[in-house]
Structure 1
């Protein structure tokens, strides 16, 4: 029986990446469930998949003054949905409406909310969470986070949901909606075991992926170990930082290969494709300092690849609750504070923290400064992942000059050990810490069932005037003193 509603999925674009994969998966799930739907995107689907996409240019990234008006954009969206789906009641499913990548999307959502439309507002990333460049675009939105029985806020992880509940969002107007896990490519095992480790970081090399940590690990790894990052950033704002790491790789000769897919081959006569790099890799890695859901922690499990790298409790705690150990992970990668200098770090913190807070139109208090500085100090060490890139390179140069290799430590559950010894042991382990069957809570069947239940509940609710989660409370939750991170500034 066809459900008595249809769905309009809304996003800025359908470029390759995490959100697009989520939308693709949702579309396939809805098709299998017989739920009629359309995807409204500001740009065509670059994957070429046969999905029900309608392009509405006003939805694309647009952060400069001018451009489409919200009322006109709502009119175009309604017309596209009616043309594609007919007159059935619609649930609108927005992805990242508050990210600050379009000047009118927040107003579009507000108008639909005031019209008592059924909506899902799903957050993959938040402008308040380490994206100070984005926030001014949404700072003046009158109704940024509307909620009602007909509007659910959908979160990828429990940490973000807790922030919104603390700011006043009723629990019944929220839902945890983790992504479905599907293998990123089909991988046929190599016929011959590799002689040395090839560690793949299957991401775009944007700033929060913390590429400097790969170089430090490469300097500590056994001879012959290679590290590879699959793709370069696709946004101009990240290219300067990425190019600095590209130059650093050339200058130091460290075995870190960047933007390898379709550019380099992982082995003699091997294709340059992503699938080929996955096939030839012995391990996957993550050094990211911030994620919304954390696909990179679970996707290696589907490929039978062991994962190592940096733990992010904000996302991995949910996996632990589901009984999944995603990889062999450290909580911190510690370097001696004297390799950077306390006063050098403090002065950099003052400048960066003030600039970041000003982007959010917030003053820098002494409490912000002192608690942020104290949070960076760990018994005579600093966490390498929370250093600006030039100071990361300074640390690596000291290491390459022979300045105390075993002074670099990994911290795992409050216990420390030399990072070089931990790496040597970890790279010898070729079995994942979880099995594909452990991922049942994140299967596409489970995901489709969650979507169907969510949409059906919303469409049955009576029209109700929306209320608002105070946006200043959301911002305060993410900017609390002590939370500053250089790579998210």
Structure 2
């Protein structure tokens, strides 16, 4: 059996790391060829993956924004999809790879970054190729620009038209979801259960050894100019908006007085950098023990930051899988994190003990301020979808719009400007800060007490057993075998036609995802000034 991994690019990080882990998990388990196919950028493919695979460039797979930089205008998405299918078939044929021996494993085909991918998949299915479509992120999950592009590509008049286009259905097309919650969304959208697989990401340090903690801490201490008695916790992420950095600043105020908290990487896009840099500026006064850019320190590696840390922290409000919840345990570090139920349920079902995950960070509010906040949350939610036609906007509001008026609210539900207000009030008003501390005593205890070695050892064992490369390889092979057993169905698909309108059984994807994940304004924030007053 041959396995072909396809994505728009293989730049460092993100999906590329997932694919590299999957290649490693399949190494020695299949007797065919592994091929990585993408647009022009394959700079993130590591040496071990290069040795285990062949690489093919199909320029038409790249993000639409990259293709628009060429001199040629973009063709209709369906025409481009047919071109991708033809070129891909020709290139694989050069290696002697035929459809009946092969599974095409796509990553994030429906994100809306290249709207021709779904059309290519439909054509490839009609040509007899068996395919596994692995979804990491949804365009419908507060990515309105992407979703608008899919609406246009599909020529859609109702949400079901978009679903039919972006989630093609045919006997030889199966779906791989990172969580059981996302699999439930796809089932509600009409994907048959026998074509749905839960394929979580694998975690592995690939033989990496943590540096000596004291030496690692010495490098960080010198680079950041920290006191000799300081301790360290780290948020090992690129600080994009959904990572909820305002809450990271608040938690840095709740850690023990000698502890400093580091966030590792600055974002790469303009809109995300603007948000990140605003929080970095706010931290100078309101959260001086929050240190930014610690992944950019000279001679300080990711493993140095991890080794030096007492624990890993996460304030993220949206994750497709939650890799940062798993990896630290393999390095012997505990995790304190905001609980995202749609992700964490699978981890706890697998046996992980996540007793230091928290549901909310409570701040006190008066009735007037609470009313203003509820209005602002609703405005932010509806503004997020203003750029798409009315027929495609959600009609059911998430529960988070009914923010509490009982004198308290979860900090993550506040708009970014209101979060800044709270942080400034905590800095200026010791009584207010003490009130915040009183309401979050359990969280403060989680940020203060060392993790039990028995908990770290248990979670290390579970993470390695359930999410290591061996288990990942087993899951992939099981999915591939199930896809390949549908060979007889494929022949029927050629003559009966592939595709058709998706059976949308449970409503549009926007509403399904909103109900599952809720809404947090930091994801779609617009930065503007606001007077620093109002929290009670």
| Alpha-carbon distance in 2 for matches of 1:387, 1:351 | 12
Partner of 2:165: 143
| Alpha-carbon distance in 2 for matches of 1:252, 1:242 | 15
Question: Does the residue aligned with 1:23 lie in a helix, a strand or coil?
Answer: helix
What is the CA distance between 1:371 and its match in structure 2?
5.1
Partner of 2:20: 24
- Stretches of structure 2 that go unaligned for 5 or more consecutive residues are 155-163, 218-228, 525-536
| Alpha-carbon distance in 1 for matches of 2:121, 2:447 | 47
1:268-318, CA deviations, whole angstroms, 9 ceiling, x for partnerless residues?
Answer: xxx411121111111101111011111111111100001112111111100
1:159-215, CA deviations, whole angstroms, 9 ceiling, x for partnerless residues?
Answer: 111112122222111011111111375313425998543111111111111111110
Please, which of 150, 167, 185 is the counterpart of residue 189 of structure 2?
167
Please, which of 59, 62, 85 is the counterpart of residue 61 of structure 2?
59
Question: Does the residue aligned with 2:105 lie in a helix, a strand or coil?
Answer: strand
1:268-283 matches, cutoff 5 A: 271-283=299-311
| Alpha-carbon distance in 2 for matches of 1:23, 1:330 | 31
RMSD of equivalent CA atoms? 2.8
Partner of 2:278: 244
Partner of 1:458: 483
What is the CA distance between 1:87 and its match in structure 2?
3.3
- TM-score (normalised: structure 2): 0.81
What is the CA distance between 1:347 and its match in structure 2?
3.4
What is the CA distance between 1:32 and its match in structure 2?
2.0
Does 1:311 find its partner at 2:345?
A: no
Partner of 1:412: none
Which stretch has the larger CA shift, 71-80 or 186-195? 186-195
What is the CA distance between 1:234 and its match in structure 2?
2.5
**Is the alpha carbon distance of 1:366 and 1:288 closer, same or farther for their aligned partners in structure 2, counting shifts above 3 Å?**
closer
Partner of 1:355: 383
Partner of 1:438: 462
Which stretch has the larger CA shift, 116-125 or 66-75? 66-75
| Alpha-carbon distance in 2 for matches of 1:340, 1:407 | 18
Does 1:201 find its partner at 2:225?
A: no
User: Is contact 2:239–2:263 with CA below 8 Å preserved after alignment?
Assistant: yes
| Alpha-carbon distance in 1 for matches of 2:434, 2:126 | 60
| Alpha-carbon distance in 2 for matches of 1:108, 1:282 | 48
Aligned length: 471
| Alpha-carbon distance in 1 for matches of 2:443, 2:74 | 53
**Is the alpha carbon distance of 1:237 and 1:75 closer, same or farther for their aligned partners in structure 2, counting shifts above 3 Å?**
farther
Question: Does the residue aligned with 1:143 lie in a helix, a strand or coil?
Answer: helix
User: Is contact 2:398–2:514 with CA below 8 Å preserved after alignment?
Assistant: no
| Alpha-carbon distance in 2 for matches of 1:62, 1:336 | 46
Structure 1 runs of 4+ with >6 Å offset: 363-367
- Normalized per residue, the structure richer in strand is 1
**Is the alpha carbon distance of 1:238 and 1:84 closer, same or farther for their aligned partners in structure 2, counting shifts above 3 Å?**
farther
Which stretch has the larger CA shift, 136-145 or 191-200? 191-200
1:17-416 matches, cutoff 5 A: 17-33=13-29, 34-42=31-39, 43-49=41-47, 50=50, 51-63=53-65, 66-67=73-74, 69-87=80-98, 89-140=101-152, 141=154, 143-183=165-205, 185-190=208-213, 195-252=229-286, 254-263=288-297, 271-326=299-354, 328-338=356-366, 341-362=369-390, 368=396, 372-374=400-402, 376-377=403-404, 379-401=406-428, 402-408=430-436
| Alpha-carbon distance in 1 for matches of 2:137, 2:397 | 25
Partner of 2:448: 427
Question: Does the residue aligned with 1:275 lie in a helix, a strand or coil?
Answer: helix
What is the CA distance between 1:145 and its match in structure 2?
0.8
- Normalized per residue, the structure richer in helix is 2
What is the CA distance between 1:252 and its match in structure 2?
3.4
User: Is contact 2:342–2:516 with CA below 8 Å preserved after alignment?
Assistant: no
What is the CA distance between 1:108 and its match in structure 2?
1.4
